Structure 1
Amino acid sequence: MILIGLDPGLTCTGWGIVAKSGSRISHVANGQIRTDAKAGMAERLAELDAALTDVLLHHRPDSGAVEEVFVNKNPQSTLKLGQARGVAMLSLARAGMPVAEYPTKVIKKALVGTGAADKKQIQAMLKVLLPGVRLAGEDASDALAVAITHANMLGSHR
């Protein structure tokens, strides 16, 4: 089974794809989608959707997961994050796959063992779980963490 995890953001959306076979999880690909900060909101959202669609068509995942929105101190930032997250969920749903959502603390706890883990701890654990992985950046590593959490949660629901 091929699974995609997304760490949505308007400036940069991370994506990570893993393969799950039994209890074994292996890295397939990861990357980041950056939108043009000088473009209008609608144009940026369309750019994000087009790039996500390309990733989905190339890798053909069976299921996807998206990190849930956390509330920022800045309401404007939260709104932009929510709009990018909506596009991410729409792209996955339009591709015909089930979409799961996981809170940040659940993802961190699933990967590192504590909901207060920092980005360095997540990246270190990814290198243990996915030997030889080359991370495309922080957002891509967060997305791989979402994909691994999804893979593990799928196993626990069966």
Structure 2
Amino acid sequence: MVILGIDPGLANTGWGIIEERRGEVRCRAYGCIETSSGSDLAARLRRIADELTAVVDRYHPQQAAVEGIYFGANVRSAIPTAHARGAALVACSLCGVEVGEYTPMQIKQAVVGTGSADKAQVTYMVRTLLHLDHDPKPDHAADALACAVCHAHLQRTQVLTGGVFAQQKGNPYA
């Protein structure tokens, strides 16, 4: 299965393509969509949607995984991210790609084993799990790959447990 991971951001939206086959995950490509703060909001969102559509057209993912928004005490900073996330969700929907959504804590838990992992730990595990020779750069692309790996792991768990895993009480991924 080919999976597109997306780390949404208005200035930088990371994306990563992985392929999962028989429990093994490999990186196929990754990158970052940059938008100019001098452009109006609609133009920036269109660029994100257009470039993600081009990624889908090139790599043909069956599913996508999008990181949710974490804003802590700063709700104002979450609004531009929410706009970018919306553009990503619409692009996937228009391309017919099924989307899974995960919180940053869920992604860290699935990739590192702890929801409190720092960025360096996540990047190290992404590099290790995907058999990369170097850390994926920029960080937004590494985060997108982590999101895709999280989705692959959780999809595989669903298959192995016949969907029972998601129904268990206290499951942090449900």
Normalised by the length of structure 2, the TM-score is 0.87
Greater Rg over alpha carbons, structure? 2
After the TM superposition, which segments of 4 or more aligned residues of structure 1 sit over 6 Å from their partners? none
- Structure with the greater relative contact order (CA < 8 A, sep ≥ 6): 1 or 2? 1
Matched AA of 1:112: V
Specify the SS of the correspondent of 1:113.
coil
Partner of 1:130 in structure 2? 130
Is 1:145 the counterpart of 2:146? The answer is yes
Q: Deviations over 1:20-79 (max 9, x none)?
A: 111111111111000011001111111111111111111110100100111243333211
Q: Give the letter for the 1:47 counterpart.
A: R
Q: CA RMSD in A?
A: 1.1
Structure 1 stretch displaced more, 51-60 or 74-83: 74-83
Paired with 1:73 and 1:81, the residues of 2 have a C-alpha distance of 15
Q: Aligned residue pairs: how many?
A: 158
Aligned-pair CA distance for 1:97: 1.5
* Unaligned ranges ≥5, structure 1: none
- For structure 2, which runs of at least 5 residues remain unmatched after alignment? 160-174
Q: Which amino acid aligns with 1:152?
A: H
In structure 2, what is the equivalent of residue 154 of structure 1? 155
Could you say what secondary structure the match of 2:124 adopts?
A: helix
**Map of 1:60-75 to 2, 5 A cutoff?**
60-75=60-75
Q: Aligned partners of 1:22 and 1:119: how far apart in 2?
A: 28
Counterpart of 2:88 in structure 1 is: 88
Secondary structure of 1:70's partner? Answer: coil
CA shift, 1:146, in A, is 0.3
% of aligned pairs identical? 36
